[in-house]
Amino acid sequence: MGFKSAILPWGLLLLATAPILGHHSVSAEFDVNRQVTYAGVVTRVEWSNPHIYFYVDVKDATQKVTNWAFEGAGPNTLARLGWMRDSLKVGDRVTVLAFPARDGVAVASAREVKLANGRKVLAGMPPDQGPRQ
C-alpha cells in the first residue's frame, strides 16, 4: 500500500466529520434566556448554508442606528417553514424576535420574523432543538 492510498481513508473520514465539527449549539453563542424584539430595515441578505444571515438597521432609544446580523436556519429548513429566497429583500421593514449574542456584539439568533407583508414566519429552530414556545 502506497503513501497516498494510506492517507486517503483518513482524509475521507475528516471530510465526513467536518459538518459535525462545524455545527454549534445555539445556547453556546446566544442568550436563549433573553428574547429581544428588533425592528428596522433590511440592508443585506445572505442565503447560504449552513445558516442564512440577514442584516437589519435597528434604531435604539436614542435613535442611534446599529446594523444587526441575524442568523437563521439553513435554506432547506427555512423553505419547509414557508420561506422563499425573496421573502426578505433589501429595504423591507421587518420585526425580528431573536436571542442576542452572549458577547454583546450586534449578532442574534433569529427565532421569528414579521415580514414586510405582515406575515410572521419562524426563522430558526428552538434553542438546542428544545420545545417550541
Q: Supply the Cα-derived Rg of the chain in whole angstroms.
A: 18
pLDDT in tens, 64-111: 999 999 999 999 999 998 888 888 999 999 999 999 999 989 999 999
Is 112 in contact with 125 (CB distance < 8 Å)?
no
Return the amino acid letter for 102.
Answer: R
pLDDT, tens only, 110-120: 999 999 889 99
Q: Is 125 exposed, middle or buried (0-12, 13-18, 19+ CB in 10 A)?
A: middle
% of the chain residues with pLDDT over 70: 72
Question: Shortest CA distance to 69 belongs to which of 82, 83, 52, 86?
Answer: 52
Q: Above 70 in pLDDT, residue 9?
A: no
The pLDDT assigned to 21 comes to 41
pLDDT one-digit tens code per residue, 16-55: 444 444 445 666 688 889 999 999 999 999 998 888 999 9
Question: Within 13 Å of residue 32, how many CA atoms lie on the same side as its CB?
Answer: 15
Domains and CATH numbers, the chain: 25-129 (2.40.50.140)
Region for residue 63 given its phi and psi (left: phi exceeds 0; alpha: psi -120 to 50; beta: otherwise): left
d(CA 86, CA 89): 6
